[in-house]
Amino acid sequence: MSDQIKDLNPAKECRAMGKSIKRREDARFVQGRGTYVDDIELPKMLHMAIVHSPYAHALIKGIDTAEALKVPGVKAIITAKDLAGFNLDWIPTLAGDKQMVLATDRVMYQYQEVAAVFAETRAQAVDAAQLVEVDYEPLEVVADPFKAREDKVILRTDREKKTNHIFNWNVGDREATDKALAEAEVRVKQKAYYPRVHASPLEPCAIVADMNTATGRLTLYLTSQAPHAHRTVVSLVTGIPESNIRIVSPDIGGGFGNKVPVYPGYVCAAAGTIVLGVPVKWVATRTESMTTDSFARDFHMEAEIGATKEGKVTALKVTTVADHGAFDAAADPSKYPAGLFSICTGSYDFPTAFTEVDAYYTNKTPGGVAYRCSFRVTEASYMIERAMDTAARELNMDPAEFRFKNFIQKEQFPYNSPLGWTYDSGDYETTFKVALEKVGYEELRKEQAEKRAKGEIMGIGISTFTEIVGAGPSKDFDILGIKMFDGAEIRIHPTGSVIVRAGTKSQGQGHETTWAQIVAEELGLDVDKILVEEGDTDTAPYGLGTYASRSTPTAGGALALGARRIREKAKRIAAHLLEVSADDIEWEDYKFQIKGVPSKSVTTQDCAFAAYTNPAPGDEPGLETTYYYDPPNLTFPHGAYICVVDIDKSTGEVKVRRFVAIDDCGTIINPMIVEGQVHGGLAEGFAMAFMQEIVYDEEGNHLNTNYTDYLIPTAYEVPKFETGNTVTPSPHHPIGAKGVGESPTVGSPAAYVNAVIDALSPYGVSEIDMPISREKVFSKLRAAGVEAF
């Protein structure tokens, strides 16, 4: 029993929601008893290594595997030609494009997969991969989307349309927005580049593929955030019936959106086991992870805000050039090629708005995953929060005052945004006031004025963001045609313990604890008697997986409603046990009691025993259900973040002195887990703001392929966070929850950057792109004539 609940009396013991119950999964993680894909060893298993292209763009004139095949232990080497025999040389992407599995006649980006080697040991496979000789003829490289836009070199010669332009996606009223901007008393433009970054889960992508040639059954142990979706994709691509495919997603060492796509390594391992008839393991190296996993962001954005002189916003226009790399493999719902970027009006009541995104192919790794982000929401939030600060500066207003003037008001919810969303609920003013008070905003501004008078550099950055998560309602949301509902199964055993299974898949989110809390709360059961299982497609109900902060809004709803369905049946059993009509039974204090007679009651556990030993006459025995929940709307968590920085004018070093984060994610299931999620997300936001960017040179060389060059913040770099919550429940979610996993990553980068710009604004600095290195700040200060000493 968890420490937090064992001392409570039995009646309260059941009250599970809102409790900081320790994460039940952590016991096995901290004791090294988790099972990850790399822990899986099967008899006769081979290991796979991949040959990657050093060229970003080149024709392949020939591939010589003769020397590699001589390496002891090597069993086979496959190239695109071999895959073509199985129609697996190209696979569909989530975005409706197609991508090569192994390079066919050409390579399109550096480190692209060219051949796969299968050997008895990993070392043999790696040695042999280095001996595969590939004859390349270099082609001109286009590593910049603005250069790609010129269409001088067409990259995708396989496509009918001879252009590097992938799509233009726009939403809103262009004409009305242009008119409102033209008529605006004040017009403010803001450019911002959100750099290409990597989700960087510590566990790289991995697979053990096992085709049982006797039964024809293909089992894939896979680092998958969406096992069911992957099973369907594997079936569609290979033609193997879905019933003959089992995907097991065991413990996962972080996902962050990175483990949603289907990667060439997975396909090659599956092809290997099908052809060779023995299991095949592939675990990506760190360099493979950094260079071939789907990237995130890479949005070149420009916003224009129109406003009155008094500071009331009148219009917003945002245009974006998106770099999608060599194939359009962005992971977005089908109807939304630029994800939910149209949340870019944020927390503000813009009467009119328009946004468009143009995406281009380049000779870079494909991707566009929703890295701790509900599909491009991170980019949208960053853009609007940066632009709001710039507009406040132009208007000579305090950025807090400017935000208060323009917030969507509490009574406006449900709020219809000019870009088509219906925000479910929110109370932006209250959350912001809590944050301002906690940080001591007015005192900080006074301190800043005093410091400025002394030539010291201090900044305060604000981000009052709105998220859009929980994809989503089936009327609008699908991936490859599969609607984005989610399922949960609840089985209550005769003795009252429970097994819960869901179509989601935790990668650190703590579902084994929070899912149990929801069911325990709904049924008055003990959390510790509820086992949660996810990730095995043979046993879990269908679901689209865990990413985009969707688990609680979707599966969380399925669990609550499934539990309520069970409660309805248990009520009939209770009536049978108490020898009254079901109409005379009420659910009170986590028990079924005869209305108004608390002494005549039974528990769910009593009903469970009866369901197997003394079922209600005419009722089906047993006590279990499977529930598929199709949410009626998305949820809209929000937050108010305030960052305080001090800048060393000699070195350009930015020190984050304070960071206050007040989140409103609706009903909270487990405050400790929410706080943990917020801390993790703020650390990742810090990383992007100050440390991270995937850098390519003009030749398409990927210049930071490991954690020596691509930086991950440690406890030393990460500042102290002061967190808190307000609670505005979602009116449409069964338990009022909204999801929180991504809010801190979405909301925090703008707060960090706004703080730095606020600090540097007296020196005429209005632009600085992430990652904000010391060098960038140092150069800005020297350019502004600030003396180092």
Partner 1 sequence: MKLNYDGQEQINADYDAVWAFINNPEKVAKCLPDVEKLEITGDKSFTAHVKVGVGPVRGRFKFDVGLEPDAENNKMNVNLRGGGLGTAIDLTAGANIAQQQEQTQLDWQGEAVVRGPAATVGARVLDRKARELITHVFAEVKRNIDEEQA
Q: Which residues bind partner 1 (CB under 8 A)?
A: 51-52, 54-56, 110-111, 130, 133, 136, 138, 287, 697-706, 709
Sign of the Cα torsion 732, 734, 736, 738 reads negative
Task: Answer whether 702's CB lies under 8 Å from 672's CB.
Answer: no
Give the shortest CB-295-to-partner 1 separation in angstroms. 16
In this structure, the strands spanning 165-172 and 352-361 are antiparallel
Rounded distance between C-alpha atoms, residue 267 and residue 280, angstroms: 11
For partner 1, the closer CB: 325 or 553: 325
**Residue labelled with tokens 């042999």:** 128
Burial of 449 (0-12, 13-18, 19+ CB in 10 A): exposed
Continuous segment of H or E residues that includes residue 298: strand 296-307
479: nearest Cα among 263, 662, 305, 262: 262
Give the shortest CB-693-to-partner 1 separation in angstroms. 14
Bridge partners (DSSP) of residue 636 are: none
Give the shortest CB-112-to-partner 1 separation in angstroms. 11
Euclidean distance between the first and the last CA atom of the chain, given in angstroms as a whole number: 60
For partner 1, the closer CB: 287 or 761: 287
Give the shortest CB-77-to-partner 1 separation in angstroms. 16
Rounded distance between C-alpha atoms, residue 593 and residue 576, angstroms: 12
- Report the helix count and the strand count for the chain, using DSSP H and E: 22, 32
348-361 as b/e, with b when 16 or more CB fall inside 10 Å?
bbbebbbbbbbbbb
Which amino acid makes up residue 53?
S
For partner 1, the closer CB: 132 or 753: 132
Question: Which ranges constitute the DSSP H helices of 395-508?
Answer: 399-406, 428-439, 441-453
467: nearest Cα among 352, 257, 639, 666: 639
Continuous segment of H or E residues that includes residue 170: strand 165-172
% helix / strand / coil in the chain, to the nearest 5? 30, 25, 40
Catalytic residue among 205, 373, 607, 665: 373
Catalytic residue among 288, 522, 693, 742: 742
Give the shortest CB-293-to-partner 1 separation in angstroms. 16
Give the shortest CB-127-to-partner 1 separation in angstroms. 10
Give the shortest CB-116-to-partner 1 separation in angstroms. 14
Continuous segment of H or E residues that includes residue 570: helix 557-578
Catalytic residue among 99, 112, 225, 593: 225
Continuous segment of H or E residues that includes residue 196: strand 186-197
Rounded distance between C-alpha atoms, residue 219 and residue 279, angstroms: 9
Task: Answer whether 102's CB lies under 8 Å from 115's CB.
Answer: yes
Give the shortest CB-704-to-partner 1 separation in angstroms. 7
For partner 1, the closer CB: 265 or 749: 265
Give the shortest CB-134-to-partner 1 separation in angstroms. 9
Rounded distance between C-alpha atoms, residue 23 and residue 5, angstroms: 13
For partner 1, the closer CB: 325 or 503: 325
Return the structure tokens found at 129.
């991969």
- Decide if 297 is catalytic: no
CA 601 from chain centre, in angstroms, equals 44
Q: What is the 3-state secondary structure (H, E, C) of 501-550?
A: EECCCCCCCCHHHHHHHHHHHHHCCCHHHEEEEECECCCCCCECCCCCCC
Continuous segment of H or E residues that includes residue 664: strand 654-664
Give the shortest CB-688-to-partner 1 separation in angstroms. 21
Write the Ramachandran bin of 73: left for phi over 0, alpha for psi from -120 to 50, otherwise beta.
Answer: left
For partner 1, the closer CB: 138 or 598: 138
- Decide if 205 is catalytic: no
Residues 6+ apart with CB under 8 A from 265: 48, 50, 113, 116, 205, 207, 282, 284, 288, 292
For partner 1, the closer CB: 52 or 231: 52
For partner 1, the closer CB: 90 or 136: 136
Give the shortest CB-133-to-partner 1 separation in angstroms. 8
Return the structure tokens found at 372.
């701790």
Rounded distance between C-alpha atoms, residue 578 and residue 499, angstroms: 27
For partner 1, the closer CB: 354 or 710: 710
For partner 1, the closer CB: 405 or 702: 702
For partner 1, the closer CB: 53 or 177: 53
Task: Answer whether 626's CB lies under 8 Å from 489's CB.
Answer: yes
222: nearest Cα among 236, 237, 238, 234: 234
Laid out side by side, the sheet with 457-466 consists of 457-466, 638-647, 654-664, 722-725
Return the structure tokens found at 226.
């969406």
For partner 1, the closer CB: 127 or 664: 127
- Cα-based distances in Å from 207 to 11, 118, 204: 46, 14, 10
Give the shortest CB-703-to-partner 1 separation in angstroms. 6
Return the structure tokens found at 210.
């096992």
The residue length of the chain stands at 789
- Decide if 373 is catalytic: yes
Give the shortest CB-630-to-partner 1 separation in angstroms. 47
- Decide if 677 is catalytic: no
Catalytic residue among 23, 156, 196, 372: 372
For partner 1, the closer CB: 129 or 457: 129
Rounded distance between C-alpha atoms, residue 542 and residue 526, angstroms: 26
Tell me the catalytic residues. Answer: 225, 372-373, 742
